[in-house]
Amino acid sequence: MKRAFELFVSGVLIMGLLPVILFIALLVKIKLGSPVLFKQQRPGLYGKPFSFYKFRTMSDERDRDGNLLSDEERLTPFGAFLRKYSLDELPQLINVIKGDISLVGPRPLLMEYMPLYSEKHARRHEVRPGITGWAQVNGRNSVSWKEKLDMDVWYVENQSFLLDVKILFLTVVKVVKTEGINQAGKATVEKYRG
């Protein structure tokens, strides 16, 4: 039932938002260049890697030695706008169609975090990751890593269709209010250290 619901909703969203998606892709190409999509390996169900898609929000600016500048320096005003309204996440609807992720589930984090999780927190990989999740509607990036991972495990233990619908509704509210997008004073979330 969940998979059928996700395919239907994702298909409707892709078709309905296609002009917006194409317009954003064009703006990314003009303002940030190629590639338009940011692609990265992330852990999916049971930790199996998959290619995760987002619209690019950062430039490729480098220092004199050829090293990438910090995230804060490379995040453009245009990129910040995309993040503020979660528009950079729209390509993940492709991941949902492919079956890599769900609409709702723990957010797919970095592959390098896999060996750092406690036995309890590793349970977040017992379900497909999601575009949004319980942690995203309860603080997103404004809560600590422990709180976020605890909420992911709570979702794994309490998941249901009605809970997913509630999370989707709350996600729309959070996006409209632009709450909890970044940690205070940071362009991106601080890395997980275990």
Least confident stretch, 21-25, 29-33, 136-140, 148-152: 136-140
Is the pLDDT at 177 greater than 90? The verdict is no
The answer to whether 168 and 174 have CB atoms below 8 angstroms apart is no
Can you give the pLDDT at residue 114?
A: 96
d(CA 22, CA 17): 9
Is the pLDDT at 169 greater than 80? The verdict is yes
Q: Where are the alpha helices (DSSP H) in the chain?
A: 2-32, 71-74, 77-84, 92-98, 145-158, 161-177
Q: Between 105 and 72, whose confidence is greater?
A: 105
For residue 186, what pLDDT band results from cuts at 50, 70 and 90?
Answer: low
How far is CA 29 from each of CA 57, 63, 114, 167, rounded to the nearest angstrom?
A: 11, 22, 33, 32
Tokens coding 76: 């453009």
Q: Could you give phi then psi for residue 107, rounded to 5 degrees?
A: -60, 140
